[in-house]
Structure 1
Amino acid sequence: MRVQLLYFDGCPHWELADGRLGEALEALGVHVDVEKILVTTPEQADEWSFRGSPSILVDGQDRFAEPDAPVGLSCRLYRTPDGVQGSPTVDQLVQVLSGT
């Protein structure tokens, strides 16, 4: 499994997402080095189909992406059971990482 965390400099939530990713991977008993990718230009955002920071790709796919979400250098929010947050919850990440 390949996991990438895309973010832009100054994003207030990418470290939260990184920590939750680590917790989710640990809960699954999976050792994966999360590749952190700094997106700095609109061209890079287009290349990565970057729908805001932080974005999490699993095997190249953004499984949290909404089809109509714009691509670009912006902050990203996630719908969670506890309301809107700057990162998916650990449980949401476990579901995505385990393919359920």
Structure 2
Amino acid sequence: MKIELVFETTCPNAEGTRKLLNVIEAELGLQLNIIEINKDDPDAPDYSKKLSSPTILIDGKDAVSDGSQGGDACRIYHAPYGRLTGLPSKEVVIQSILLAGQG
């Protein structure tokens, strides 16, 4: 399983998402191979430059399919009760990792 954290240098939510992935890794008792991609790096893959920050990809697919906006801006995720947040839902990311592990 390939997990990518795509972020921008100035993203205020990149560190929180990085920590979230570390918590998930510990909770699941898995050694996740997390590849960090700074989309501001000139050598970053082209596909990463089209994603908003932060985005988690699992085997090339967005881990959170909640209708969040993409593009060249901060990513805002939908949270329960109509709230918006800059971090993806831990439960949704865990579910995506477990589903990818089954395939």
CA distance in 2, matches of 1:68, 1:45: 21
Corresponding residue for residue 27 of structure 2: 27
Quote how far apart the aligned CAs of 1:11 are.
0.3
Query: TM-score if structure 2 supplies the norm length?
Result: 0.77
What is the letter of the counterpart of residue 94 of structure 2? V
Quote how far apart the aligned CAs of 1:81 are.
2.1
Query: TM-score if structure 1 supplies the norm length?
Result: 0.79
- Structure 1 stretch 80-89 or stretch 2-11: which is displaced more? 80-89
What is the letter of the counterpart of residue 79 of structure 2? T
Residue-by-residue CA offset, 1:41-61 (whole Å, 9 max, x unaligned): 7xx685336331001000111
Quote how far apart the aligned CAs of 1:91 are.
1.7
Bigger relative contact order, structure 1 or 2, given CA contacts below 8 A and separation 6+? 1
Name the Cα RMSD after superposition.
Answer: 2.8
Is 1:96 the equivalent of 2:85?
no
What is the letter of the counterpart of residue 64 of structure 1? V
Corresponding residue for residue 48 of structure 2: 48
Quote how far apart the aligned CAs of 1:67 are.
6.6
Structure-2 change in CA distance of 1:49 and 1:61 (3 Å):
farther
* Equivalent pair of 1:51/1:65 in contact (CA under 8 Å): no
Quote how far apart the aligned CAs of 1:89 are.
2.4
Structure 1: 5+ residue stretches without partners: none
Other structure's SS at 2:36 match = strand
Aligned residues: 99
Corresponding residue for residue 78 of structure 1: 77
What is the letter of the counterpart of residue 15 of structure 2? E
